[in-house]
Homo-oligomer: A and B are copies of this chain.
Amino acid sequence: MRKEYLLTPGPSQVPADVLLKLAEPVYHHRTPRFKEMYKSLTEKLQKVFMSSGDIIIFASSGTGAMEASVVNIVPRGKKALCIAGGKFGERWSEICDAFGIAQVRMDVEWGKAADPKAVADALASDPDIVAVYTTLVETSTGVENPIRDIGAVVAATGAVLVVDGVSGAGACEMRVDDWNVDILVVGSQKALMLPPGLAVLTVSAKARALLDSVDNPPAYYFNLRKAVASAAKTDTPYTPPLTLMEALLVAADALVEEGMENVFARHRKYAEAAVAGLKALGLKVYPERPAAALTAVEAPAGIDAEKIRKIAKDKYGAAIAGGQEQLKGKLLRMAHMGYVGPMDIVIGLAALEMALADMGVDVTPGSGVAAAEAVLRSG
């Protein structure tokens, strides 16, 4: 009797009412019914992301929307500032390279957060930078970057701030307007509680102006200017991912009904419980600024994290992610975003403490769960 608990940082768990919506009959998208749904969805997503800007939806993974927010934004002769502190931060840089877009790359040690002061210095020293690219939650390291502070820095310049919020937006605190985020990129399969396949962007007036300045961007499907123009008419340039959008409306409704302040607090509490539990097991939390959406922790010295994961999954049914790139075998990453409750934290910790004990690591059984329970009971 196999029963799996998906605790990976995307895809994440999908609530039953969202799954059922996906099973409804398909209708045509060039209809008033679609426009009405799209209008509602736009309004809800504006509330979820606390944005008064345009809401653009692509049938793509989050990476597609990242590409859209690079190729349409940086004109030839200008530069992107790419903050790379993990696999996903580095993706901004890779996209620039793929399209021959000039960049200033700011490498951040993995596990550390981006430094707003360094961003200010970079912007001051190179007036060709028109856009700053960073990451809300660096999923590969579990870092949550100080977007509010970076936003304040960028807002004081002519540049726009583009944030990869694929992992985290909808779970971690993220206030697009207040924090001066010009483009926020989000994927469906994380805090938005959907299967993969859909990406969302918010686009500020400042970003829209930049879009209009870029002629002939290297984009057709991902032409953001065209998408923004269509969205103004509650329409899409190409066939939209209709059923995923219907399902997203269900998920967004749930988030708005819960209230984003409650959503933020709930995820912060999960993170505190996970961190407390993992520390009680004697493990070292990896990031210097742990995210509300997932917790990354180092495997004990000399123990292969992949073996721990395999036991947690095969024997106890808890699917926990491992490390990526140079962290493979060294890191365990437990997500707690989206359709998650207190018991998901308990499940992840119980699976880890049993797996560690199975591997002969000296852990006190129940100690991780006990520490998490103290946090989960509070408030």
Q: Which residues of A contact B (CB under 8 A)?
A: 1-3, 5, 23, 254, 258, 263, 266, 315-318, 339-344, 346-347, 350-351, 353-354, 357-358, 364-371, 373-374, 376-377
Contact = CB atoms under 8 A, between A and B. Distances in A.
A16 to B, nearest CB: 9
A358 B254 CA distance: 28
B366 A1 contact: no
A366 to B, nearest CB: 3
Contacts of A373: 350, 353-354, 357, 365-366
B376 A370 contact: no
A2 B342 CA distance: 10
B318 A343 contact: yes
Contacts of A346: 346-347, 350, 369
* Residue from the set A1, A347, A351, A365 with the largest chain B CB neighbour count within 10 Å: A1
A3 B339 contact: yes
Contacts of A1: 254, 258, 263, 266, 339-341
Nearest to A353: B373
A87 to B, nearest CB: 28
17 contacts: A1-B340, A1-B341, A3-B339, A3-B341, A5-B343, A315-B342, A318-B343, A346-B347, A347-B347, A353-B373, A357-B373, A365-B370, A366-B367, A366-B368, A366-B370, A366-B371, A367-B370
Given A317-B342, A347-B343, A354 B366 contact: no
A376 B354 contact: yes
A280 to B, nearest CB: 9
A122 to B, nearest CB: 39
A187 to B, nearest CB: 19
Contacts of A5: 343
Contacts of A376: 316, 354
Given A3-B341, A341-B3, A377 B350 contact: no
In the complex, the 5 A-B pairs of residues with the closest C-beta atoms, listed nearest first: A366-B370, A366-B366, A3-B341, A365-B370, A346-B350
B369 A343 contact: no
A339 B254 CA distance: 28
Nearest to A338: B1
A123 to B, nearest CB: 39
Contacts of A374: 365
A366 B1 CA distance: 26
Given A357-B377, A374-B365, A377-B358, A343 B23 contact: no
A5 to B, nearest CB: 6
A254 B23 CA distance: 25
A339 B3 CA distance: 8
Contacts of A263: 1
A316 B376 CA distance: 9
